[in-house]
Amino acid sequence: MGEIRSVGIIGAGQMGAGIAQVCAAAGYDVLLHDVSADRIESGLGVIRDTLAKTVARGQIDQAAADGTIAKVKAAPELQSIGQCDLAIEAATEDEVVKKAIFKALQPHLKAETILASNTSSISITRMASTTDRPERFIGLHFMNPVPRMKLVEIIRGIATAPATYEQAVQFARSLGKTTANAEDFPAFIVNRILAPMINEAIYTLYEGVGTVDSIDTAMKLGANHPMGPLELGDFIGLDTVLAIMNVLYDGLADSKYRPCPLLTKYVEAGWLGRKVGRGFYDYRGPTPIPTR
């Protein structure tokens, strides 16, 4: 397999922008694509803001920040991603959307390109089977926020070639990340454990065992978690938490993974967490206020 020098990112949201930043900081040439120029510019803005805060904290100097952002180029046309050595899909956690992206990208891929998905729960084997290169398809699940979190879960599909896996591990480590191998079962390792914990916290709220504040305080001080589970759900995005729970529930057919009705109700209301200003907390004022 050829050396990875260029990386294409499909999806310029919080995750895609974060992946683009760490790849650029590691010296890779990065192309950032989304469905509109405004979304790409928003993603580039996220990278600039994150780098500015890192400079302000004295963790890097301005020259390093400028060098990183200079390595990230806007890619308004999806086909340009096909000429990269590695293409990472970082779109919304929806299997239909992800498969459509890979289908649209396929005619433009060079023979050597490795395909990866940043999915946090969806089958790598199923997605790979819809492409012309299942042996060159792998899961690279970065954690949020990407620049700060050290882990990348690496998930092989049933057809993933050993050489693809080894190259993916080397790539993730070149970004300064620690890797953990996860088998291709619903939600892999981190979200197989994390999402049900958040869902159980929502059930605890739903059943009146505790308030938003008491549940989060109890877990922060009683279990030494840096963030309470409801606050964490808001940070991840409640739509993403619900999507993961549905993947677990559908894929494993176990009632313990049934999404809490209150979680569903919040998503139906559009109260998705921090990214929209309201979830289990209201973030529109100077201090987050519990909504229940």
Catalytic annotation, pick one of 6, 118, 191, 199: 191
Domain 6-182 is in which class?
alpha beta
Catalytic annotation, pick one of 120, 121, 123, 199: 120
The reported pTM is: 0.90
Q: State how far the Cα of 50 lies from the Cα of 177, in Å rounded to an integer.
A: 18
- Determine whether 123 is an active site residue: no
3-class DSSP state of 184: coil
pLDDT tens series, the chain, 292 aa: 569 999 999 999 999 999 999 999 999 999 999 999 999 999 999 999 999 999 999 999 999 999 999 999 999 999 999 999 999 999 999 999 999 999 999 999 999 999 999 999 999 999 999 999 999 999 999 999 999 999 999 999 999 999 999 999 999 999 999 999 999 999 999 999 999 999 999 999 999 999 999 999 999 999 999 999 999 999 999 999 999 999 999 999 999 999 999 999 999 999 999 999 999 999 999 999 999 9
Single-letter code of the amino acid located at 276: V
Domain ranges of the chain: 6-182, 191-290
Catalytic annotation, pick one of 6, 33, 118, 153: 153
- Determine whether 3 is an active site residue: no
Length of the chain: 292
Rounded to 5 degrees, φ, ψ at 182 are -125, 140
In the CATH scheme, what architecture does the domain 191-290 have?
Answer: Orthogonal Bundle (1.10)
